[in-house]
Chain A
Amino acid sequence: MNKGAALSTAEPKGASRWALRMHSLLIYVFFYAPIVVLVVYSFNDAQLVGDWRGFSLGWYEAFLDNDNIQESIWISVKVCVASTVISVVLGTMAALSLERFRWWGQKAFDAVLYLPIIIPDVTMAVMMLAFFNETSQLLNLIPGVDLSSGLEKLVFAHVAFNISFVSVVVRARLANLDATMEEAASDLYANRWQTFRRVTLPQIMPGIIGGALLAITLSLDDVVVSSFVASVGGTPISVYVFGLARKGVTPLINAVSVVMLSASMLLILASLGFQRATQFAREEK
């Protein structure tokens, strides 16, 4: 990985270098402009978002007082965690199966796996609605499944689109890896599971983490599918906000968003910290 030397020539010199920097800077400004607006107006002492009336923490108090919103956030978190875990496991397995094996019918599976990615949200939402519409009675017969709680439906739907995204990301990583390491390991009489745990898994970890991040983002951010699927006691925060926005966008929504944003940033920082810590530990060995 002698990349450093080559990189220096990859980066253009002179004027175009500055143009590139400016361009990148402007895009980050573009990314963060609405976020700044969102944060600033969450401290707005007014009923309406766009109309600045002075600083206040009132909307954060309102947030703390509002059990419905907190309930919704918990639902989102639960659905997000459950759907991410399931889709990461299934998606990684699918990626391995497609990338490291050859079997009859693989092409068809490959094609089906791409469908959830190329299908627009609206179509997916409609499919889920029709599906639960027709089969919820049948599904309720499965022991341990109780669709009336709503949570399961959300998890089922989110996993259905997340599997594909996770497997695509993991596959990209797998495709880049040399299979020789794995073959060497299995030649050394490690069984498949050992080979996977000791050799493959650590190498595809960045792909899995990337896939998980993507799954978390898609699950938390999904409004369309969730709003078609949500039911009793299962309104996730994105759907709740959708409803709230219809009655008027108050800075309460901004406050909710800032809280969620801060929480997820803390989570990312924590996981980055954890990653570094394990990296150091590994390097010291």
Chain B
Amino acid sequence: MKKWIALVALIGVFSIMTAACGSDDETSSFKQCEAGETDGDLAFYNWTEYMDPDLITAFQDEYGVTVTEDFYPSNEEMVAKVQVGNSGYDMVVPSDYMVSILIEEGLIQPVQEAAVPNKGNVDALFANPPYDPGAEYSAAYQWGTTGIGIDIGVTGADIPHTWGLLFDADLAEQYGLSGKISLLDDPRETMGAALKYLGYSLNSTSDDELAEAEAVIKDAVSRVAAFDSDQYSELVVSGETIVGHGYSGNFLWDFEEGESEYDYFVPEEGGTVWVDNMAVVSDAPHPCTAFTFMNFLLDAENGAQLTNFNWYASPNGAAVPFIDQEVLDNPIIYPPDQSKLEYIADTGDFEINFTDSLTRARS
């Protein structure tokens, strides 16, 4: 029994210790870098299968450094790692709302314009994003939308472009979608789609609006096959589902494989647009190499090569002439009407309500 008391005491001591040193003062001034400067090998933390390996090789050859690339499946997981401090990573690729969180947390450092002369290549649309005013801390990497992918071989091409395909009982009846629907397993995206369906902003912080959206999902659960953030496009292509909620590029990749006719669209009520951004970690061991790499990727031809590789849209204005015409002409990659698209913004304390709502809706 005494051992246990000792253990409890030990735990107490430790918590006090950390509480005491929990408030690190942040007085660091960042190391200044010049264009083309390298200060060691690069540790690049990126989404899986998002980077053309040839570009990495080209960068290594040009600057004589080695690039280590690690991968994460979600923004939150990346933050969890970077937050630890001394993560060893130099550059990360957070999505929009996560950029603002990283800035608030002091986890990424301002982009040194002197070291990144190509930053001017970023299209005006992405030069002043709401999540990072003035793009002070980040440079856009790739962008895309969240919408609906559907097997029109089954439903026919003449379908209403609405979120109702996912949520509405009558439409499900009409097109035989019941049990053949997948929704993203992501509180912000899934609740966001329901909010958009109801005509609200997907960044709504109104309890009533969120409760309405919860009711929409709850009603739809019986017709949903799966909540899935990974395989939604494969499910459509393999015929397991007919309609899926997901990201543009993934659908596009998998539609190539299917035997039926497919379509992807952002519903008329509007949907999510997301931008993934390059950012240099505050305690990056090799910030100069990181900025040089950022500059390298913002180069017109390199930016085009990236888009030709991963089929997501390039925010790099200067790259457009080098992008394959079939990519530029593809309305899924470059949606013609971007007026109804909305960024997901960090809602601070309200954030936990999205997760709670989704949990309640499906249980």
Contact = CB atoms under 8 A, between A and B. Distances in A.
A48 B88 contact: no
7 contacts: A231-B84, A231-B89, A232-B68, A232-B87, A247-B47, A247-B48, A247-B49
Interface string B226-246: 000111011001100000000
A240 B80 contact: no
B55 to A, nearest CB: 14
B264 to A, nearest CB: 15
A243 B72 contact: yes
A108 B253 CA distance: 56
A119 to B, nearest CB: 16
Contacts of A230: 70, 81
A248 B71 contact: no
Given A48-B237, A48-B254, A243-B72, A108 B4 contact: yes
Contact of B234 (A48, A107, A108, A233): A48
Contacts of B233: 248
A231 B4 contact: no
Contacts of A243: 47-48, 71-73
Nearest to A133: B84
A242 B3 contact: no
Residue in B43, B69, B230, B253 with the greatest tally of chain A CB atoms within 10 Å: B230
A137 B85 contact: yes
Contacts of A48: 234, 237-238, 254, 257
B254 A248 contact: yes
A140 B48 contact: no
Interface of B: 2-4, 7, 18, 43, 45, 47-49, 68-73, 77, 80-81, 83-89, 229-231, 233-234, 237-238, 250, 253-254, 256-257, 285
B81 A231 contact: yes
Given A50-B238, A105-B3, A148-B88, A235 B71 contact: yes
A220 B71 CA distance: 18
Nearest to A108: B3
B18 A134 contact: yes
Interface residues of A, number: 39
Secondary structure type dominating chain A contacts: helix
Closest 4 CB pairs of A and B: A108-B3, A232-B88, A148-B88, A243-B48
B73 A137 contact: no
A140 B85 CA distance: 11
A156 interface: no
Contacts of A227: 73, 77
A47 interface: yes
Contacts of A244: 48-49
A231 B87 contact: yes
Contact of B48 (A108, A133, A150, A246): A246
Given A47-B256, A232-B88, A247-B230, 15 more contacts: A47-B254, A48-B234, A51-B237, A108-B7, A134-B18, A148-B86, A231-B70, A231-B88, A235-B70, A240-B48, A245-B231, A246-B73, A246-B230, A247-B49, A249-B234
A203 interface: no
A244 B81 CA distance: 19
A123 interface: no
B11 to A, nearest CB: 12
Nearest to A51: B238
A132 interface: yes
A149 interface: yes
Residue in A48, A108, A230, A248 with the greatest tally of chain B CB atoms within 10 Å: A248
B88 A150 contact: yes
